[in-house]
Amino acid sequence: MRETKVIFNNEKLHYSSELMRALAHPLRMKILEYIDRSGKTQVNKIYNSLGIEQSITSQHLKILRLSGVVSANKEGKFIHYTINYEIVDKAVKAVNNFLGKKVTV
């Protein structure tokens, strides 16, 4: 009988789980859809357009920022959010590989 060893890179595994957690929330997906349509936007435009509280929007944006899905750039007194499509593409490819089929975004 053959012994199988599976070795995980804990750092990559942790990042991957945080990335999937960030993308798995319905409200975060709505925020991402809004940013995608806008191209670049501010937090006040997001919460006013989606009808959610500013604090909740900021909490979700923090999770998206920490996972690398969105980038935040300060311009004057405003922070503008954009989607990091490279990270989103990598997540889609990883899910496709895992499922063995093509998932589209």
Instruction: Establish if 65 belongs to a structural domain.
Output: yes
Instruction: Establish if 2 belongs to a structural domain.
Output: no
Tell whether the model's pLDDT for residue 4 goes beyond 80: no
Task: Summarize the confidence of residues 61-84 as an average pLDDT.
Answer: 94
Tell whether the model's pLDDT for residue 35 goes beyond 90: yes
Instruction: Establish if 93 belongs to a structural domain.
Output: yes
Retrieve residue 25's tokens.
């929330």
Instruction: Establish if 4 belongs to a structural domain.
Output: no
Instruction: Establish if 3 belongs to a structural domain.
Output: no
Instruction: Establish if 105 belongs to a structural domain.
Output: no
Which comes out higher in pLDDT, residue 59 or 101?
59
Closest CA to 15 of 56, 61, 69, 57: 69
pLDDT of residue 29: 95
Return the minimum-mean-pLDDT range out of 6-10, 18-22, 41-45, 58-62: 6-10
Residue 50: burial class (beta carbons within 10 Å; 0-12, 13-18, 19+): middle
CA distance 45 to 62: 16
Q: Which residues contact 36 (CB under 8 A, 6 or more apart)?
A: 83
What is the tally of structural domains in the chain? 1
The continuous run of DSSP H or E covering 4 comes out as: none
pLDDT of residue 101: 66
Instruction: Establish if 33 belongs to a structural domain.
Output: yes
Tell whether the model's pLDDT for residue 21 goes beyond 70: yes
- pTM here is 0.82
Which comes out higher in pLDDT, residue 104 or 8?
8
The continuous run of DSSP H or E covering 48 comes out as: helix 43-50
CATH number of the domain to which 33 belongs? 1.10.10.10
- Residue 25 sits at φ, ψ, to 5 deg, of -90, 130
Instruction: Establish if 20 belongs to a structural domain.
Output: yes
Print the domain residue range for 20.
10-99
pLDDT of residue 12: 80
